[in-house]
Amino acid sequence: MTDNSDSPAPNKWSAKVTRESNALSLEKGVFTWKDPQRIAESLRDSAEASSRRKAEPFRSAMSMLVFYINRAGNNLATEQRQTLEQAKQALRKLYGKN
């Protein structure tokens, strides 16, 4: 049996996508921050700076945030889920999409 301890487990593909997104270069730990405004601004900045994204910056930033929330599922603490939901609202405000 081969030991592949250096490679992520097959069921951890979403963590790899979050870390190594080809569309956005995210700040380390962005989804663990406690300030929804800071999260939204970081996602906006990453999306606007990216030359690899295929959609407009708002859609790219929101997609990454929703992807993270959905993939975390029940493993996401209630408090952090609320923070990330507030970050979605903050992101909409940053782009005038209320």
Please write the tens of the pLDDT for every residue from 3-33: 444 554 555 655 555 555 555 788 889 999 9
Q: Residue 2: pLDDT band by 50, 70, 90 thresholds?
A: very low
In Å, how far are 5, 15, 19, 32, 71 from 8, measured between CA atoms?
7, 9, 12, 20, 16
d(CA 50, CA 27): 13
**Domain residues of the chain, as ranges?**
32-94
Q: What DSSP designation does 85 have?
A: H
Can you spell out the DSSP letters for 41-83? Answer: HHHHHHHHH-SS-SS-HHHHHHHHHHHHHHHHGGGS-HHHHHH
Please write the tens of the pLDDT for every residue from 42-87: 999 999 998 887 889 999 999 999 999 998 888 999 999 999 999 9
Q: What is the pTM of this model?
A: 0.77
